[in-house]
Amino acid sequence: MTRIAVCSRSFSRHPILRGELIARFPHAEITFNDAGLSLSGAGLIDFVRGHDRAVTALECLDEAFFAALPELKTVGKYGVGLDMIDMAAMRRHGVRLGWTGGVNRRSVTELVVSCAIALLRHVPEGNQLVRDGGWRQFMGRQLTGKTVGIVGCGHIGKDLIQVLKAFDCTMLAHDIRDFPDFYAAHTVRPMGLEELLAASDVVTLHLPHDDSTAGILSARRLALMKPSAILINAARGGLVDEVAMKAMLMDGRLAGAAFDVFNGEPPTDMELLRLPNFLATPHVGGSAEEAVLAMGRAAMDGLERAEVP
């Protein structure tokens, strides 16, 4: 008999995804995370033990996890990030991964556009002013016609480029891979990271977090940005020197920043969070109803169509 462990709390409590999984595997024994536990380490291993398939989201799947679970054959990934999975360990133990990239791309794209407009129009600061009983106009800027630098041109970066065409933006891109046909079709100028930072009115990050990207926006690189520019990170925490960025926001060397992800979550630097030119959201880039359904269905597909990574 097939036995499936659903580690994700949000998948387990989602009535549509839960019902579809049961209907799709009517003869399987399915264990949902009904207790709403944040599973890690030994607790995660104990939860998955005895199951040959698992649905995971943000749980850390490392060497110890795979070594302790020889019965586990397939993981269906709920969500698009893979930085929490030790791929080398997964290969060594012959566990198959079912993963679909980009299923939440429009959800993240729309959040990025909303953050860009909110910062350019001083929406957070204006909202707080009115809430506090004040009333004065803020002179903002339009997104239309701005130069937008997209760092990471994968599924989300490409989707964002297509949406920004409606705003008549000049689009720059930096990626370790080249996409000449896509760039030509959408009038995108590829360039080096530092050149992009210096030229952009809006910089938005769409990178995974790994050894090559950790701290990629260092203090030195942040200093290359225009004082009038804004920075958006709806990708992964750990990409930006948050201390250096805070200093730049405080002394006017950077106009604004919006972060959906942080080096440590939840963030604890209240001085940063209370800055009027900083907009923070609690890692909600993929938290649109449509994206959640797409990610959940992709995870179910992954339980049947998977490969050793």
CA-to-CA distance for 114 and 57, rounded, in angstroms? 26
Q: How many CB atoms lie within 10 A of CB 86?
A: 17
Respond yes or no: is residue 265 known to be catalytic: yes
Our CA dihedral for 154, 157, 158, 159, rounded to 10 degrees, sits at 120
CA-to-CA distance for 157 and 207, rounded, in angstroms? 9
Task: Identify the active-site residue in 186, 189, 253, 283.
Answer: 283
Peptide bond between residue 266 and the one before it cis (omega within 30 degrees of 0): yes
- What amino acid occupies position 19? G
Q: How many CB atoms lie within 10 A of CB 175?
A: 18
Respond yes or no: is residue 20 known to be catalytic: no
Task: Identify the active-site residue in 96, 206, 236, 297.
Answer: 236
Respond yes or no: is residue 283 known to be catalytic: yes
- DSSP letter string over 197-248? HHH-SEEEE----STTTTT-B-HHHHTTS-TT-EEEE-S-TTSB-HHHHHHH
User: Which element (helix H / strand E) includes 265?
Assistant: none
Task: Identify the active-site residue in 29, 63, 194, 265.
Answer: 265
Q: Is the distance from CB of 289 to CB of 104 less than 8 angstroms?
A: no
How far is CA 88 from each of CA 66, 82, 83, 95, rounded to the nearest angstrom?
11, 12, 12, 10
Task: Dig out the tokens for 107 from the structure.
Answer: 């959800």
Q: Is the distance from CB of 184 to CB of 130 less than 8 angstroms?
A: no
Measure the N-to-C terminal CA separation of the chain; round to a whole number of Å. 25
- For the annotated catalytic residues, the residue numbers are 236, 265, 283
